[in-house]
Structure 1
Amino acid sequence: MTDTALLAGTTHDRTRYVNAMGPRGVIGIMTPGPNVVVENEMMDMRPAGVINAVDRYYVPNQSIAEDEDWAIIMRHVAANLDDSVHRLNEALIDHLILGMSSQSFMGGVKGSFALQEHLENESGVPVTMGAQAAEAAFDAVGARKIALVTPYYPIIEKHAASYFNDRGYDVVHVEGLKCKSIIEVASQSAERLSDAVLVADSYKPDAIIQLGTNLHFAQVAQDMEKKLHKPVFAVGTAIYWSALRKMGINDQYTGFGSLLESH
């Protein structure tokens, strides 16, 4: 599906220049249209000299009452990702982020790495996605027993659990909130998210990660790390942290939890 028109006389200048506002790098972020949290959290995470270019690809704010509703969402994602890449390519980005964690787990390990390879081929730049970023976060703290907090239904959660199990982690619990739409995901309160973390922690994981980038979780993660004295990661933070480190940007700063502060 495409809505991009190329008019007669169109050219694509690929001469690279240093961006005056972002001399250290321009990060392209793809996110579903209804996802209003990830772009703003990642804007807040920018270190000096880095800027974000955001593209919102079409995904309906689907009413979610069963697994098939999530399946419809994921089919829209698959149909529209390439157009998003092509639009961001016009900004001559230095790095590409898939700002939707669920798609990075679809098809388990094989599907995830195939998607990463595809996006790198389409964009021509390195790509960071939720699945691999989560791995990097767990490895940074030596966590093997993990718990997940998600806004999803089981159809998505089973792909995520399969990915982590096949990569050698022990998923001890998945706490799913079964949100009713993508927009409803963004309405979840810090109290409800903190309660979900406490349930996940009762299964004694080494670390906890939240999936679903439209959950407003960056601050919750930081607060729960202090309360539980163990790593609690927001997937959006993990993705942005991983992208920066791949770009050779090793700034450490407070406000978003232990990953950006200490790793």
Structure 2
Amino acid sequence: METNRVRVSRKASSGSDRRPAGRRYGQANRSAQWMVDTLAPRGVIGVMTPAMNTVVQPELEMLRPKGVTNQMQRFRLGGERISEDLIEEARKLMDCNPAAIAVGLTADAGPGAVTRLALRCRELADAVGVPVRNASEANHAALSTLGARRVAVVTPFTADVDRIVQANVEEAGFEVVAIKGTEAPSLPAICETPLGDIRNVFHDVAGSDCDAVLQIGTALPVVALIDELERETGRPIVACNAAVYWQTLRTSGIADRIAGFGRLLAEH
């Protein structure tokens, strides 16, 4: 696999804009209260993902800048509150001292669920004391950063669910001009979607009069395709896993421009 090509920003690498990541020691180490993580001198990023999702972890590793590590914790989906064990699992993750947490989840497939996810993440941030970002809101931030208002949408879902997705995206202030899903038969099956099928759906919707193509569903493997899809379609691609990692890095004061994964990470 080709190594990431990363241009390190002076601000992020100098450490002048934020305290170096470090592990707080107790009474026995008063003389060295803050110690820098050897493998993550620039910061630890906490990542939370649904237990069944096998895509978030490897995709975020593809994007990881030098001097940063991603540390994972999984949670089970369910209920109106997104996950009853989310805060409990996040507290375990806090033992490795993350600068911020990326929640690898989009909630666009449920009526009103994007708002519920946002509220849940605010509860989580209050509970653990670090910023928490989620993939649904990160998608909206990425589209706004790219200046996109008219969007085509790719999902892993069927047409019935796509109508709910469209309503959620439009509620966030964007116009959906095309939407199509890969029609995975179950949530675990989303992770098994062939890359060729994903490419075909992107090409189908990118022919519309859109400013960008937005991808919903963090279990759909898209990150490795972003660069070539942008070249082939001429459209910016907002892939949800790339968007939530981008927003979490920027929240953590890490401003590297990461080439090879589309305009969002390379230019913003």
TM-score by length of 1: 0.81
**Aligned positions of 1:189-208 closer than 5 A:** 189-208=194-213
Aligned residue identity for 2:53: N
Query: RMSD of the alignment, in Å?
Result: 2.5
Partner of 2:36: 18
Structure-2 residue corresponding to 1:42: 60
Over 3 Å counting, the alpha-carbon distance change for 1:13 and 1:154 in structure 2 is farther
Q: Do 2:47 and 2:70's aligned partners in 1 also have CA atoms closer than 8 Å?
A: yes
Q: 2:180 aligns with which of 168, 175, 181?
A: 175
Change (3 A) 1:154 1:125: farther
- d(CA) in 1 for partners of 2:105, 2:128: 17
1:72-92 CA-to-partner distances (Å, cap 9, x unmatched) read: x56695223222212112222
- Residue number among 124, 127, 149 corresponding to 2:129 in the alignment: 124
Which aligned pairs between 1:1-263 and structure 2 lie closer than 5 A? Answer: 17-59=35-77, 77-102=82-107, 107=112, 110-153=115-158, 157-263=162-268
Q: Please give the secondary structure, in 1, of the residue aligned with 2:84.
A: helix
> Separation in 2 of the partners of 1:111 and 1:159?
15
* Alignment-mate amino acid for residue 122 of structure 1: A
Offset of 1:41 from its aligned partner?
Answer: 0.9
Distance 2:253 2:121 in 1: 20
* Contact in 2 for aligned 1:148/1:208 (Cα 8 Å): yes
Q: Separation in 2 of the partners of 1:76 and 1:32?
A: 14
Q: What do the CA deviations read for 1:95-150 (whole angstroms, capped 9, x no partner)?
A: 01111122797625642431231121122110111122112211122100012111
Does the Cα contact within 8 Å between 2:109 and 2:162 map onto a contact in 1? no
Residue type of the alignment partner of 1:80: D
Amino acid at match of 1:166: E
Gaps (5+ residues) in structure 2?
1-23, 27-32
Relative contact order, CA 8 A, sep 6+: which one is greater? 2
- CA offsets, 1:142-164, max 9 Å, x none? 10001211113467545543333
**CA deviation profile, 1:225-253 (whole Å, cap 9, x unmatched):** 00111101211011111111111211112
Alpha carbons 2:156, 2:217 under 8 Å: kept:
yes
Distance verdict in 2 for CA 1:74–1:158, change over 3 Å: farther
Q: Alignment identity in percent?
A: 28
Q: Which has the higher strand share?
A: 2
Uncovered stretches (5+) of structure 1, i.e. residues with no partner: 1-11, 60-72
Distance 1:221 1:182, change over 3 A: same
Q: How many residues align?
A: 239
SS at match of 1:113: helix
What's the CA shift string for 1:203-234, capped at 9, x where partnerless? 32110111111111012222110011110121
SS of structure 2 residue aligned to 1:125: coil
Provide the C-alpha distance between the structure 2 equivalents of 1:97 and 1:30, rounded to a whole number of angstroms.
6
* 2: CA distance, partners of 1:23 / 1:229: 37
| CA deviation after TM superposition for structure 1 residue 13, in Å | 7.0
